Amino acid sequence: MADTPLFPDAPIPGEQSLTLDVEGRAIAVRSLAGAAPGLFWLGGFKSDMAGTKAEHLARWAAGQGRANVRFDYSGHGESGGPFEEGTISRWLEEALAVFDRATRGDQVVIGSSMGGWIALLLARALAARGENRVKGLVLVAPAPDFTEALMWERFPPPVRELIETTGRFLKPTLYGEEPYVITRGLIEDGRRHLLLGAPFAVGCPVRILQGARDEDVPWEHAVRLVSCLAEDDVVFSLVKDGDHRLSRPEDLERLTEAVADLA
């Protein structure tokens, strides 16, 4: 869910903008050269790479002389394509393409909300390919399986029927004037990537930051994730007065510490 840009007019020295073609979709990327392990940012649903947390980490990486890559999924921010055509499969495909083509060496992957789900899927996909460049995951209010557990299972019957018959539902949101378009394709595709039904391993340390006052992704959802990662080194930090965004100065400090611990 969207953050408010913190430094909208202040460019980061050395950061370059590029566009990658992923199956005909123009994916906007911002890349900063530097030392490894680099940072690889994965944003949330309807968020973009100019949000507070992504911008903060890019500036921190620049100050540390560390590489950093951030991008917008198709239908988000500066990238092309209609949002309504987006699915977890499509956004994962884009994340893998950017990771392959825009990063070098070891990486710490940071995922916020939906980006936490994408991060877990990315790490699993890379491990299946025999790659071990992901040295750690930092997940902020991670929302694996959100299309099913936090949307479909919570939708009342009339909303489910609307999605099944018309293919879409306009979901009100607190993060902007326009409602989120929830499509049948998004819901059905999400079922191909569910993670929380059984234990699984990502093969690297995982750090989770979760707000206790998060109304979008309840803290109990993150605890379900922790229980599934039984084989990995997991540290779960509950911010008692934190909301979903976790973008206050003290939250950004916690995020920086978690990233620095792995980087």
* The two three-digit tokens of residue 38, written as one number: 């680099």
Q: How far apart are CA 146 and CA 38, in angstroms?
A: 28
Say if CB 92 and CB 193 are below 8 A apart. yes
Tokens 């909303």 label which residue?
Answer: 159
Assess contact for 211 and 242: CB atoms under 8 A.
yes
In eight-state DSSP terms, residue 216 is S
Find where tokens 């003290």 sit.
Answer: 250
Q: Say how far apart CA 213 and CA 207 lie, in whole Å.
A: 19
| Contacting residues for 129 by C-beta, under 8 A, at least 6 apart | none
Nearest to 28 by CA among 66, 63, 54: 54
- Cα four-point dihedral sign 149, 154, 159, 165: positive
Q: Which residues are catalytic?
A: 113, 214, 244
